[in-house]
Amino acid sequence: MRQVYLDYSATTPVKQEVVDAMLPYFTELYGNPSSLYSIAAESKEALAGARKQVAELIGAEEKEIFFTSCGTEADNWAVMGAADALRKKGNHIITTKIEHHAMLHSCEFLEKRGYDVTYLDVDSEGRVNPADLEAAITDKTILISIMFVNNEVGTVEPIKELAAIAKAHKILFHTDAVQALGNVPIDVKELGIDLMSMSAHKIYGPKGIGALYIRKGVKISNYLHGGAQENKKRAGTENLAGIVGFGKAAELARTNLTEHIKHTSSLRDYLIQQVQENIDNVYVNGSMEHRHPGNANLTFEFIEGEAMLLYLDMNGIAVSTGSACSSASLTPSHVLSALGIPVERIHGTLRFTVGDMTTKEDIDYVVSTLKNVVNKLREISSVSSEKGW
């Protein structure tokens, strides 16, 4: 059976160059970077090299990169650390209704501890109106956190404009860039970002390693306590092999960015075109002008996304009904709900994300199979409706 993976926003395969870079740090160069002997010095050098590679991908300085276990930890650290450090200044945080649950649940945690959180609405494409952000700011606002690229519909937010508003009011600006990294150009200095979350496994690197960019001069409280790792900011023995893999993946993402965007956006557009030409009553969710190059979030009327997903899986095709972090839940997507999409359409939605390994032949196979699946499920749905089941 042909196998086609179209869920690159959930995770990506680790590229062979990344695996090759990592392998020596499991068996040969295994020294703890905090130790003083020579094998540890080699590990420390590798750690510094990877930090530089990640920094170069986003236009940051090496000392502004702090490695974490994942993007979720980076999000938690950013919001918790800022809230704690700035508590004497205020207790108001602004975010959006379409954030990843790592951010939403962190804000809910803080609300239970006396913080006020404003959740901004978005338009029908998932974009934040800068005027809404301006209007939400109070003299107690200490942090604004708005994701760079949405993980479900792929909408790219106007980060530079939003960050400028935060800067004008002398408020810290954080962005969750887990889906943006390696998919859109990022220059944290030009964009005016103070804090930014990242993850390796979205850019063909290993799972279990992420990073938080903290602009020089920004002070937030530590999230993990213990040793003096990460310039005394994030305790815990470094995941050296993972960090080296993140560094190599970041290097590849930087050098291949233009080609990656060209390849994935071309296949994404081809997928959407072919689906709409071959299947009736299909809607594209999110913005086409401001969009993740590989994301196609599509709603198929009159059928359930879970049923489509299972039938596609039986034909060797891997897609998602939404974020991999919440796809086990039957609750309608909070992102699609925020876009104003009716519940019945939300349940008929699939997220397709193409990547570097995707081919045109893969798309042709997926569309052909999807057409048969949709027709079959709609026929079943029609019969069920007629019989009152």
Q: Which of 325, 326, 337, 376 is catalytic?
A: 325
Within this chain, do residues 57 and 119 fall inside the same structural domain, yes or no?
yes
Within this chain, do residues 224 and 285 fall inside the same structural domain, yes or no?
no
CA distance 87 to 140: 9
Is residue 34 assigned to a domain? yes
Find the range with the poorest average confidence among 269-273, 278-282, 372-376, 384-388. Answer: 384-388
Within this chain, do residues 161 and 304 fall inside the same structural domain, yes or no?
no
Domain limit, last residue, from 219, 253, 287: 253
DSSP category for residue 64:
G
Is residue 43 assigned to a domain? yes
Residue 331 has a pLDDT of: 81
Is residue 52 assigned to a domain? yes
**Domains identified in the chain, total number:** 2
At 38, the pLDDT band (50, 70, 90 cuts) reads confident
Within this chain, do residues 236 and 105 fall inside the same structural domain, yes or no?
yes
Residue 201 annotated in ligand binding: yes
Within this chain, do residues 246 and 284 fall inside the same structural domain, yes or no?
no
Is residue 389 assigned to a domain? no
Length of the chain: 389
CA distance 261 to 294: 8
Within this chain, do residues 247 and 294 fall inside the same structural domain, yes or no?
no
Domain limit, last residue, from 209, 234, 253: 253
Q: Are 195 and 174 in contact (CB under 8 A)?
A: yes
Within this chain, do residues 30 and 170 fall inside the same structural domain, yes or no?
yes
pTM: 0.96
The amino acid sitting at 204 is: Y
Within this chain, do residues 268 and 335 fall inside the same structural domain, yes or no?
yes
Q: What is the CATH number of the domain that holds 277?
A: 3.90.1150.10
Encode pLDDT of 64-108 as tens digits. 999 999 999 999 999 999 999 999 999 999 999 999 999 999 999
Encode pLDDT of 304-360 as tens digits. 999 999 999 999 999 999 644 545 556 899 999 999 999 999 999 999 999 999 999
The amino acid sitting at 190 is: E
Give the bridge partners for 295, in sequence order: 353
Residue 107 annotated in ligand binding: no
Both tokens assigned to 68 = 């974490």
107 classed as catalytic? no
Encode pLDDT of 175-232 as tens digits. 999 999 999 999 999 999 999 999 999 999 999 999 999 999 999 999 999 999 999 9
Identify the three-state secondary structure at position 196: strand
Within this chain, do residues 233 and 296 fall inside the same structural domain, yes or no?
no
CA distance 123 to 143: 22
At 381, the pLDDT band (50, 70, 90 cuts) reads confident
Domain limit, last residue, from 253, 270, 291: 253
Residue 175 annotated in ligand binding: no
Give the bridge partners for 94, in sequence order: 118, 144
Within this chain, do residues 34 and 108 fall inside the same structural domain, yes or no?
yes
Within this chain, do residues 266 and 372 fall inside the same structural domain, yes or no?
yes
Residue tagged 């699939």 (tokens): 350
Is residue 386 assigned to a domain? no
Structural domain for 86, as ranges: 16-253
Residue 138 annotated in ligand binding: no
Q: Are 187 and 296 in contact (CB under 8 A)?
A: no
Within this chain, do residues 175 and 279 fall inside the same structural domain, yes or no?
no
CA distance 101 to 323: 10
